[in-house]
């Protein structure tokens, strides 16, 4: 049942924009719980490096939690890299990690973020 909800969350977010490459739910130990990927897409990371990336996200989530009491919980993180942009949102102990085409203009990125927030919030309450 939980797996179905996570897959639905991935699909809901993946349908926001044709520029979204990948949506994954990363567990607290860096495991991939559910995902969706744009069809015919060649991943930028191989399987090993993908696991390293997910482990990094999990470790950062643990470290960031130390500051929640003073700064408040993180709502989202937007990362801009040379080849891709990423956004991550917290849902309880998990992270929603989204990769987006690099060439997307900032107004589209903001639209994606604004569209993701109510979806993530809805799933955070369940």
Q: What tokens does 124 get?
A: 């955070």
Residue ranges per structural domain of the chain = 2-125
What are the pLDDT digits (tens) for 65-101?
A: 777 778 888 888 899 999 999 999 988 778 899 999 9
Domain 2-125 of CATH type 3.30.450.30: yes
Question: pTM of the prediction?
Answer: 0.85
Exposed/middle/buried for 87, CB within 10 Å: 0-12, 13-18, 19+? buried
pLDDT at residue 114 above 80?
Answer: yes
């Amino acid at each position: 049942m939980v797996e179905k909800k996570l897959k639905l969350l991935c699909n809901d977010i993946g349908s926001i924009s044709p520029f979204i490459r990948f949506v994954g739910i990363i567990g607290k130990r860096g495991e991939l719980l559910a995902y969706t990927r744009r069809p015919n897409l060649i991943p930028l990371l191989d399987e090993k490096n993908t696991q390293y990336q997910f482990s990094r996200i999990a470790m950062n989530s643990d470290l960031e939690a130390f500051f929640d009491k003073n700064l408040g919980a993180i709502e989202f993180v937007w990362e801009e890299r040379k080849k891709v942009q990423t956004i991550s949102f917290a849902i309880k102990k998990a992270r929603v990690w989204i990769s987006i085409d690099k060439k997307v203009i900032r107004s589209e990125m903001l639209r994606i973020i604004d569209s993701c927030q109510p979806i993530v919030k809805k799933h955070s309450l369940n």
